[in-house]
Structures are given as C-alpha cells and as structure tokens.
C-alpha cells in the first residue's frame, strides 16, 4: 500500500517557516502585503480567495482584497493593477482566475509587475524559470517540488512523466523537474497510447482535470504518483485524475485529493509573497 503524502502536514510546516520569515521582515521594518483581485462572484474563486486570506492571517502577511463587480471594464481592472504596481506597501499582486469572458486575462497578467507577480505567470518570470534563475516560482509546481523534497524523493536520474501541458501546471512542472535532474516526458490529450508512457514513470504527475484518467494498470509498481487535479465524482465528492484506491495499491507513494497538492499551492503563494517583499526592500 502506498505511503500517503500529507500535503496538509507539509504545508503547515512550510507556513510555520514563512511566519518566522515574516516576523524577521517586520522586525526590519517591512510588512509583507498581498493584494488579491477578484472580479465577479464565481463561488469557487470566492472560496480560494478566502483560503488565501486565512493563510495570510496565519503567517502575518497583510492581505488586501479588491472585490470588483462582474461587469468591470478591462481599463478599470488595468488601472487598479497600475495603482497596486505603484504602491510600495504592496509586495504581491494576484488576480484570481478565471476572469469574466469579456476580460482579456493575458493582458491583465502582463500588466502585473514581474517582481510583484506572486503567481509567476508573467513571461519575464516564465523565462527566468526556463533558464533556472527565478526568484518567484509558480505555486502549484513549486509546491509539488517541496513535497518531493520533504519526503526525500529526488527526481535526479528518475523518469518523470507529466500528464498535462498547461502554462499554470504542466509546462512549469516539467521545467522544475528537469532543473532537479529528472528525465522528463510531457504527455497531453494528443499523446497516443498514454499508458505506454505512464508505465515508464518513476514519478508520475497527473495534471489534466479528468476523473479516472489514470488507472492502476497505467502505473509502474513502486512509482510516486502526484495528483494535482481537483475534480468531482458522480456523488459530488472531490477527487483527482488517478483512481486513488486502485493506484495506491501499486504506487510507493501518492498524494490524496483533497489534502495533497492543494494546501501546498497556498503555502507557496505565502512564500512567494515573502520572497517578493524581501527582494523589493533590498
């Protein structure tokens, strides 16, 4: 039976470290501040924003929420970002996605100053990740790397297979595993015979968003399975891409959904905010 990688416990340990770093910054006269922009009333986004606010409270980061109506114009949103960019008391800016359909998310993300881009979505930060000198890392992939490090699972010399090629998870996940000396294969919806690749994986990262995609016969015995996705089953219960019960009998370690990667994403956001505050106060 696979060892369960407890994201709640690991993220809690990370948040304790972040809280200590925040205290040190405050002692030096710097109060880290995260500004979160939420446009509209999407219920899932509202939950995410609340969770981020709670995490800020736990570690001592000042949290400022800008709740905008769904009919906010592109220019009004860009103007708000410009104001936050120019505010020296704000160190991190996060615009909650998805945005209402009439807004151009790419233009919005480009507007956020790279050194305040705590999601690490700006092309300048993506480029730095690619060449290996980034200060701000995308929260979910970086959270996965922290989980592996905490569990003593090194990607070095391992075959790491990532299912998914999104800009948010799949692509940066592959880059971080590559930087850790893993041999990386990226699969996606157009990959023929997906199982032939997943069966080779020493570390398998599932990041597609398709319930039941990864079955036990697709997993190499003893592999580490990291399930990034959050889906719902026919009963409305949260689940990942992997068939957890079956795959956990084959893998050596596995992340649950919920309670796996999710808490790590928020912990990494807190760490990025402190990193940004530290860099901007030098």
For 280, the token pair is: 């901007």
- Could you tell me whether strands 62-68 and 33-39 are parallel, antiparallel, or unpaired per DSSP bridges? parallel
Distance CA 264, CA 266 (A): 5
Beta strands per DSSP E along 5-87: 33-39, 62-68
119 is a catalytic site residue = yes
Distance CA 79, CA 73 (A): 10
- Could you tell me whether strands 62-68 and 224-227 are parallel, antiparallel, or unpaired per DSSP bridges? unpaired
Phi/psi of residue 186, each to 5°?
-110, 125
Give me Rg for the CA atoms of the chain: 19
Catalytic annotation, pick one of 52, 116, 171, 220: 52
Catalytic annotation, pick one of 21, 115, 117, 119: 119
Kindly list the distances between the CA atom of residue 130 and the CA atoms of 113, 125, 136, in Å, as whole numbers in the listed order.
19, 9, 12
Max intra-chain CA distance, the chain: 56
Catalytic annotation, pick one of 21, 96, 115, 117: 96
Distance CA 35, CA 33 (A): 7
Per DSSP, the three-state class of 177 is helix
43-59 helix and 261-280 helix, angle to the nearest 10 degrees: 60
Per DSSP, the three-state class of 97 is coil
Q: 139 and 92 in contact (C-beta within 8 Å)?
A: no
Residues with catalytic function = 52, 96, 119
């Amino acid at each position: 039976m696979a060892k369960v990688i407890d994201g709640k416990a690991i993220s809690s340990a990370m948040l304790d470290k972040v809280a200590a770093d925040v205290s040190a910054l405050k002692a030096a006269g710097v109060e880290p501040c995260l500004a979160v922009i939420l446009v509209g009333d999407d219920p899932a986004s509202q939950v995410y924003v609340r969770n981020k606010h709670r995490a800020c409270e736990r570690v001592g980061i000042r949290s400022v929420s800008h709740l905008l109506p769904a009919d906010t114009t592109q220019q009004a949103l860009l103007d708000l970002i410009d104001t936050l960019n120019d505010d020296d008391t704000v160190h991190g800016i996060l615009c909650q996605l998805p945005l209402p359909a009439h807004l151009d998310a790419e233009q919005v993300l480009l507007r956020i100053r790279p050194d305040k881009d705590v999601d690490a979505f700006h092309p300048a930060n993506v480029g730095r990740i690619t060449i290996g000198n980034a200060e701000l890392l995308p929260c979910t992939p970086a959270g996965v790397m922290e989980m592996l490090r905490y569990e003593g699972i090194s990607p070095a010399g391992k075959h790491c297979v990532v299912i998914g090629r999104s800009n948010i998870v799949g692509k940066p996940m592959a880059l971080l595993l590559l930087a850790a000396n893993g041999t990386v294969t990226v699969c996606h919806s157009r990959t023929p015979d997906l199982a032939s690749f997943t069966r080779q994986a020493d570390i398998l990262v599932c990041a597609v968003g398709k319930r039941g995609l990864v079955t036990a016969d697709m997993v190499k015995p003893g592999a580490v399975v990291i399930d990034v996705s959050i889906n719902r089953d026919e009963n409305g219960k949260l689940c990942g891409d992997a068939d957890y019960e079956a795959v956990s009998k084959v893998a050596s370690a596995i992340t649950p959904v919920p309670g796996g990667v999710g808490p790590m994403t928020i912990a990494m956001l807190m760490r990025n905010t402190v990193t940004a505050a530290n860099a901007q106060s030098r």
